Structure 1
């Protein structure tokens, strides 16, 4: 009955705001938006409830195209991702976030979220085939799937399986190791070729070898994408271009890793 209660609750959820904040405010973007992946926060503040203190407070910063930025600090890291994905009602937001000079509050949620890839801390896999987990909407070719599997060093394992791309994946990926599960999620993100990639400490629950490989992959193999990484361990972002240090929802420092880490 708990499952029935949850389904009933989800059926009554209030739809997310998706009208650009007012009638007629939605804008059309170019077919290749975002083509650069520049992100600008302009006087941006975020509350989770309108009567609560802001979690992010007057952020003003520019993340350059293809830049690798690690986000560190005691509070506000996840809120940056919540803001970029518009997971908070517009009434709880002040200021704006621009991606390639377009206010993300003025594009539809479907369009915005389809242009941003996310690698979560805990890998998300579904019962079905590997092919389905990589490309559930069947947008990409088998050749493209093989290419990303080769990049993340899973090609040999999949090739040697009798069913190859159609090898079965158990619920939550229980028939794979934790490292393999995360690499499948990385493959899925790479396949989408989004200009912006959000990573929530993707190496937190994997072995040391996979950890090092993913860090190298992010810095060296994804050079054309803007990558934001929430870091719970400083060693995972030492090779990033810049570190964003947040404290109490404010920007304390935003500079090259050596300078930021010297302030800790």
Structure 2
């Protein structure tokens, strides 16, 4: 569900953000832009946040009187085990939204239960890097104990950084990771290879970079603004016997993009499954 630009909305309720690195920082920026009730950020590398929000370097420094509506886990996955015991008191009353890759709902719920928060509700989300400019795609999974209100709260929080969608089975998150989470890298590779090929065809490097990047971003923006199927958009660019058709005859050969991209996404999904814990 995307939201219309300029639509007035209620402020985001108080949050406990655990980890304010690239993704945590992108989310925080989106929340601040939309209006955020007084919240607390746990991050040892961040010095300040705008008032009335607070930042603390250590979990032991979390204010005893703070009552968040949601705990957002945006720390590195390998650091989660160390911080969960200090978050258990909050998780007894507030749901947990994890944006950590490779951490399952069950694994996190078990960790919270062991730390003294049995029955903690954990909702899992996979955002991608365009979230840093409010153009992200975040896909979420909520287990059966999650209430509609908790799902709505997570969607409200995540819509501040782009579009949101839900899957009904957690194992679908592996495919989401492979397509959406890793997907920006595929697009960046396309721009990189187009730039390199332009230079090989005699373009000045700066011009090759400019037109490759602008072509990729412009095509993406065009696709975003229409409901026309991507295959139809491709056909509209492809004149019979023209230059585009000649290029696509190479790219769409059976052993070219159709096979290699499918194999690449399969490999990424398999790795996501292996990393899940």
Larger Rg: 2
TM-score by length of 2: 0.26
Q: Which protein, 1 or 2, shows the higher relative CO under an 8 Å CA cutoff with sep ≥ 6?
A: 1
TM-score by length of 1: 0.27
More helix by share: 2
